[in-house]
């Protein structure tokens, strides 16, 4: 396998990094596609495909699977900070570590997906714009709502939170993906940086 930048397995295709270190994607892909489509991507035992020959189509299928989740249904919308908090809170599995999350939205503020961008330490998580916006680009998101928890129990944004928010908002403007809000939250409270005039 080819070695990715973070020690996982990956391959760069025309500037798009496809990460294979999380094999749950493969299970989702298999369940979401027909047997014929699966064999087109991976090949069958009788006619296996060359390694990585399916990568040009892979990100397209991943994005399509995300859309299928709510096909025929009304996807939930995010219209207030409370809405965002409601969807973000269940994504934190360990409240002793900081989780940085991104809610991906379509043009009507309906949820396409919720991504865990990074999980850090007691006091911080490392966040880079490319890690935030890569899933948004793959899913063709129109905008994102960011969020992270404070293990300290105090939802007040730190100076570092403000700096990261500005940096990500600037990157989103360049990519055409608006950062609608950044929610800093604990188990029982949350603060909207948009509400504080930061965005």
pLDDT band at 134 (very low <50, low <70, confident <90, very high): very high
Q: Worst-scoring range by mean pLDDT, 36-45, 98-107, 108-117, 160-169?
A: 36-45
> Residue 87: what pLDDT?
93
Q: Worst-scoring range by mean pLDDT, 13-17, 68-72, 138-142, 150-154?
A: 13-17
Of residues 46 and 173, the one with the higher pLDDT is: 173
- Residue located via tokens 């060359």: 50
- Render pLDDT for 39-58 as a digit per residue (tens, 0 to 9): 444 454 555 554 444 444 55
> Residue 163: what pLDDT?
92
- Render pLDDT for 4-28 as a digit per residue (tens, 0 to 9): 444 444 444 344 444 444 444 444 4
Q: Are 178 and 143 in contact (CB under 8 A)?
A: yes
Q: What is the mean pLDDT of residues 104-110?
A: 94
pLDDT beyond 50 at 118: yes
Share of the chain above pLDDT 90, in %: 51
Domains and CATH numbers, the chain: 10-68 (no CATH), 81-192 (3.40.140.10)
């Amino acid at each position: 396998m080819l070695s990715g930048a973070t020690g996982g397995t990956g391959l760069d295709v025309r500037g798009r990094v496809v990460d294979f270190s999380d094999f749950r994607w493969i299970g989702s892909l298999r369940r979401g596609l027909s047997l014929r489509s699966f064999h087109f991507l991976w090949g069958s035992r009788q006619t296996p495909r060359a390694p990585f020959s399916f990568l040009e189509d892979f990100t397209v299928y991943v994005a399509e699977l995300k859309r299928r989740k709510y096909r025929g249904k009304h996807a939930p919308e995010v219209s207030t900070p409370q809405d965002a908090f409601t969807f973000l809170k269940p994504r934190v599995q360990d409240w002793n570590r900081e989780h940085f999350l991104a809610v991906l939205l379509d043009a009507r503020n309906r949820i396409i997906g919720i991504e865990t961008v990074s999980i850090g330490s007691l006091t911080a998580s490392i966040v880079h714009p490319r890690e935030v916006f890569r899933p948004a680009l793959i899913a063709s998101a129109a905008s994102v709502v960011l969020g992270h928890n404070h293990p300290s129990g105090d939802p007040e944004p730190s100076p570092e939170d403000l700096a990261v928010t500005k940096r990500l908002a600037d990157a989103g403007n360049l990519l055409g993906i608006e950062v609608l809000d950044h929610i800093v939250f604990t188990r029982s409270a949350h603060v909207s940086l948009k509400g504080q005039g930061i965005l």
